[in-house]
């Protein structure tokens, strides 16, 4: 029997995060967004709730939950604001998860307790100024010299990389040449404050204005050889695995944004009057909202299915790509329709749909563009170069 109902623990978590988002995030996030200010108090609140430790074992200070629990939390946060949601997503799936998945026991014990509590944040340094979707074109290098890695290069668009809570950045770097002549890519842990690590001023962004994003540069950054994360030469495989998981989390944020657009439009349609009637009485508005709800519902099923396969230990790359593609499309389409329903008010930043519209576009770009998702899906079907 197929049952899509959430279990009691999942539902309790979802409701708890929903209450937090509506009572704590919604009243203040507009101000943070306008000031382009990182919401330290909201992050502290999420930390106190255990959200940063949701998918990690209790032995490391986690909540003993799973990745789907994280996705439920992300969806509920994104129904109100995506900046807060992506701070949690990047802190967990891109920041702490690589340490948990690939780190030594010593690295896990050293870093994870603070990351799980939300007292510290970690960043994932993958994208480079000249790389974009071509992550294999990594130019950042790391060479061993007298028991230390010496890292040189730069990374761009790195979330959670410049906050007062940021403790480390995992950086992909070329560490040699493979037997086939290709680049040997490994992952190195760079603690914040490492000499030679420069955090550029925060970007001026179209959306996600209350999240933290910077360009990073490395000039002869020396860290111990023990800061290698995982096996040498496996960095490329590690970040592909990290991105597969992260796409499910980003899909959950997309669903949350899409559903948040529905929430706002249902409320507005019952309040706003035009030509002597509430606009919800007009079939054109009814149909538009019905389409929006359909998109959000369909996208939710897609990320539920991907998460289900992941938790069962089955291959889920295709399903993660589908979920990410469908949910980002739903978010963008719903944000556009919500702005249209709100009319002039939808163009004002004081209304949530204005922020939703600005936040939606990055979901079609971050953690793999929509074009990359289509390529992955096609290859999984045996179509195109590299198909299996």
CATH of 8-121, one of 3.40.50.10860, 2.130.10.10, 1.10.540.10, 3.40.190.290: 1.10.540.10
Closest CA to 4 of 344, 358, 297, 337: 297
Alpha-carbon torsion 371, 303, 332, 34, what sign? negative
| Domain 123-233, CATH class in plain words | mainly beta
CB 168 within 8 A of CB 189: yes
The rounded Cα 100 to chain-centroid distance in angstroms is 17
Q: Do domains 123-233 and 237-380 have the same CATH topology?
A: no
Return the pLDDT at 2: 67
Whole-number Å distance between alpha carbons of 231 and 234: 5
**Annotated catalytic residue within 24, 271, 367, 371:** 367
Return the pLDDT at 133: 60
Instruction: Please say if the pLDDT value at position 226 is more than 80.
Output: yes
Whole-number Å distance between alpha carbons of 25 and 50: 16
Residues composing the chain = 388
Instruction: Please say if the pLDDT value at position 131 is more than 70.
Output: no
Look-up of token digits 């992550």: 135
DSSP state of 138: -
Domains of the chain, by residue range, sit at 8-121, 123-233, 237-380
CATH 1.20.140.10 fits 237-380, yes or no: yes
367 catalytically annotated: yes
**Each residue of 316-328: pLDDT tens digit?**
999 999 999 999 9
Whole-number Å distance between alpha carbons of 137 and 321: 22
Report the Cα–Cα distance between both ends of the chain, in Å, rounded: 32
Percent of the chain with pLDDT over 70: 97
Q: What is the mean pLDDT of the chain?
A: 94
pTM score, whole prediction: 0.95
Residue 347: CB atoms within 10 A of its CB come to 12
């Amino acid at each position: 029997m197929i049952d899509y109902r959430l279990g009691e623990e999942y539902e309790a978590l979802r409701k708890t995060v929903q209450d937090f988002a509506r009572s704590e995030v919604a009243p203040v996030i507009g101000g943070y967004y306008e000031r382009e200010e990182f919401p330290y108090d909201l992050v502290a609140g999420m930390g106190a709730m255990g959200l940063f430790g949701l998918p990690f074992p209790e032995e490391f200070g986690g909540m003993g939950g799973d990745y789907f629990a994280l996705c439920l939390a992300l969806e509920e946060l994104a129904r109100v604001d995506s900046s807060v949601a992506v701070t949690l997503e990047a802190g967990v799936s891109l920041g702490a998860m690589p340490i948990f998945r690939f780190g030594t026991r010593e690295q896990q014990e050293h870093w994870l307790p603070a990351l799980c509590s939300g007292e510290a944040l970690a960043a994932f340094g993958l994208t480079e100024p000249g790389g974009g979707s071509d992550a294999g074109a990594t130019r950042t290098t790391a060479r061993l010299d007298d028991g230390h890695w010496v890292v040189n290069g730069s990374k761009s668009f790195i979330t959670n990389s410049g906050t007062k809570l940021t403790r480390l950045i995992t950086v992909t770097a070329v560490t040699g040449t493979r037997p086939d002549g290709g680049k040997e890519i490994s992952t190195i842990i760079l603690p914040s404050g490492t000499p030679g690590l420069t955090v550029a001023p925060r970007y001026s962004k179209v959306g996600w204005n209350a999240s933290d994003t910077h360009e990073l540069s490395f000039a002869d950054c020396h860290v111990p050889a023990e800061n290698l994360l995982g096996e040498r030469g496996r960095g490329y495989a590690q970040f592909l695995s990290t991105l597969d998981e992260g796409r499910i989390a980003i899909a959950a944020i997309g669903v949350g944004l899409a559903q948040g657009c529905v929430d706002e439009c249902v409320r507005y349609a019952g309040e706003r009057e035009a030509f002597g009637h509430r606009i919800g009485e007009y079939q054109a508005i009814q149909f538009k909202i019905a389409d929006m709800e359909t998109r959000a519902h369909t996208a939710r099923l897609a990320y539920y299915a991907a998460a289900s396969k992941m938790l069962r230990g089955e291959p889920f790359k295709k399903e993660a790509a589908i979920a990410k593609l469908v949910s980002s499309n739903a978010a963008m389409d719903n944000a556009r329709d919500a702005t249209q329903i709100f009319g002039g008010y939808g163009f004002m930043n004081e209304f949530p749909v204005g922020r939703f519209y600005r936040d939606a576009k990055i979901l079609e770009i971050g953690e793999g563009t929509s074009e990359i998702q289509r390529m992955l899906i096609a290859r999984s079907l045996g179509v195109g170069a590299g198909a299996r």
